[in-house]
């Protein structure tokens, strides 16, 4: 390697490190803040590394607040949103990929337009509808409200993946006497599994992160999700900052760790879907 080559290599590695620092710093800072005693948080110079003896803040957060209930509710909503979204999206995705039918353009347009509807706009009429359907204050209602936003995206991604499945495979199954239902579930579904996994992750994160519906459609304390519970602390001053950060991390870290494990599949699945789309 020439001297200028190794120079630019060094610069590139430096730029990559800076990039990773920017990406990771806020969560690191959340951790440091949670592990810093109040006296040092408000000192003239900042503490840059966590203080191990402060680990008790996590025990206090566990016992002193409802964070375990919140995180459990968020998990239920996230898993529910994933299941409902995938179950609903598979068949229309197949239909959009494999059939040509009247009204197809309308279906595609309808799916796309949902991307433009702000949750903040729909929350008022949804509140009334939820009242009529006895869905207010239920986690299943929240799951249904969230899935309405994920189903269109997932239908689209799955359609892209099904487009890539050779039709001959389906025909062979058909000759063997399989019904259309058997084909979708037995032949197509396993072949689009990577994209399905990516779609599942997208739905899971939507349910885990969602705030405005959970804030408006749920009033029962025991059914609060972590996003709403944590939002109550933003800008609030009576709870110690390090406790709030500990709660924030207990909500954030499971999601980030889960994501780091599955991100490879998400990226691969999304690419498989979009390259052909």
Answer yes or no: are the C-beta atoms of 244 and 233 closer than 8 Å.
yes
Which pair of tokens denotes residue 111? Answer: 């799916």
Which pair of tokens denotes residue 96? Answer: 């959009």
Of the candidate spans 49-57, 61-69, 140-148, 191-199, the one that interacts with other proteins by CB under 8 A turns out to be 140-148
Does position 235 interact with other proteins (CB under 8 A)? The reply is: yes
Does position 169 interact with other proteins (CB under 8 A)? The reply is: no
Per DSSP, the three-state class of 43 is coil
Does position 132 interact with other proteins (CB under 8 A)? The reply is: no
- Min separation Cβ 40 and other proteins, Å: 10
Q: CA-CA distance, 86 to 78, in Å (whole number)? A: 12
- Min separation Cβ 60 and other proteins, Å: 18
Does position 82 interact with other proteins (CB under 8 A)? The reply is: no
Tell which positions 192-231 bind other proteins, by CB under 8 A. 205, 208-209, 211-212, 226-227, 230-231
Q: Scanning the structure block, which residue is given the tokens 């389906």? A: 170
For other proteins, which residue of 124, 134, 175, 237 counts as binding (CB under 8 A)? 124
Residue 108 burial by Cβ neighbours in a 10 Å radius (0-12, 13-18, 19+): middle
Q: How many other CB atoms are found less than 10 A from the CB of residue 240?
A: 15
Q: How far is CA 84 from CA 63, 81, 154, 157, 237, in A?
A: 33, 5, 11, 16, 39
For other proteins, which residue of 69, 174, 178, 187 counts as binding (CB under 8 A)? 174
- Min separation Cβ 228 and other proteins, Å: 8
| CA 192 to centroid of chain Cα atoms | 20
Nearest CA among 50, 55, 79, 193 for reference residue 142 = 79
Of the candidate spans 50-58, 59-67, 188-196, 238-246, the one that interacts with other proteins by CB under 8 A turns out to be 238-246
Q: Nearer Cβ to other proteins, position 144 or 199? A: 144
Nearest CA among 184, 161, 194 for reference residue 276 = 161
Indicate if the alpha-carbon torsion angle 68, 245, 249, 147 is positive or negative.
positive
DSSP-derived letter for residue 187 is I
Does position 276 interact with other proteins (CB under 8 A)? The reply is: no
Interior/surface letters 164-193, b for 16+ CB within 10 angstroms, e for the rest: ebeeeebeebeeeebeeeebbeebbbebbe
- Min separation Cβ 92 and other proteins, Å: 5
For other proteins, which residue of 76, 138, 255, 265 counts as binding (CB under 8 A)? 255
Does position 265 interact with other proteins (CB under 8 A)? The reply is: no
- Min separation Cβ 42 and other proteins, Å: 6
- Min separation Cβ 199 and other proteins, Å: 14
For other proteins, which residue of 76, 83, 88, 189 counts as binding (CB under 8 A)? 88
Tell which positions 15-74 bind other proteins, by CB under 8 A. 15-16, 19-20, 22-24, 26-27, 29-30, 33, 41-42, 45-46
Q: Nearer Cβ to other proteins, position 68 or 263? A: 263
């Amino acid at each position: 390697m020439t001297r200028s080559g190794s120079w630019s290599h060094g610069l590139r590695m430096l730029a990559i490190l800076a990039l990773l620092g920017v990406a990771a710093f806020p969560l690191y800072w959340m951790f440091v803040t949670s592990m810093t005693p109040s006296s040092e948080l408000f000192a003239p110079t900042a503490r840059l590394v966590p203080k191990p003896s402060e680990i008790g803040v996590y025990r206090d957060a566990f016992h002193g607040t409802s964070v375990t209930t919140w995180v459990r509710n968020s998990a239920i909503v996230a898993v529910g949103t994933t299941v409902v979204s995938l179950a609903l999206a598979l068949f229309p995705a197949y239909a959009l990929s494999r059939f040509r039918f009247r009204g197809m353009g309308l279906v595609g347009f309808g799916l796309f337009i949902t991307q433009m509807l702000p949750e903040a706009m729909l929350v008022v009429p949804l509140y009334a509808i939820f009242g009529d359907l006895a869905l207010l204050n239920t986690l299943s209602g929240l799951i249904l409200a969230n899935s309405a936003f994920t189903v269109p995206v997932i239908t689209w991604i799955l359609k892209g993946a099904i487009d890539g499945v050779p039709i001959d495979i389906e025909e062979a199954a058909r000759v063997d006497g399989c019904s259309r239902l058997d084909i979708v579930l037995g032949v197509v579904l396993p072949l689009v599994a990577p994209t399905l996994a990516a779609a599942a992750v997208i739905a899971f994160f939507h349910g885990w992160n969602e705030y405005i519906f959970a804030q408006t459609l749920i009033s029962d304390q025991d059914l609060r999700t972590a996003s709403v519970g944590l939002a109550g602390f933003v800008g609030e001053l009576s709870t110690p900052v390090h406790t709030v950060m500990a709660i924030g991390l207990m909500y954030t870290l499971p999601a980030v760790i889960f994501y780091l494990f599955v991100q490879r599949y998400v990226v691969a699945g999304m690419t498989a879907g979009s390259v052909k789309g």
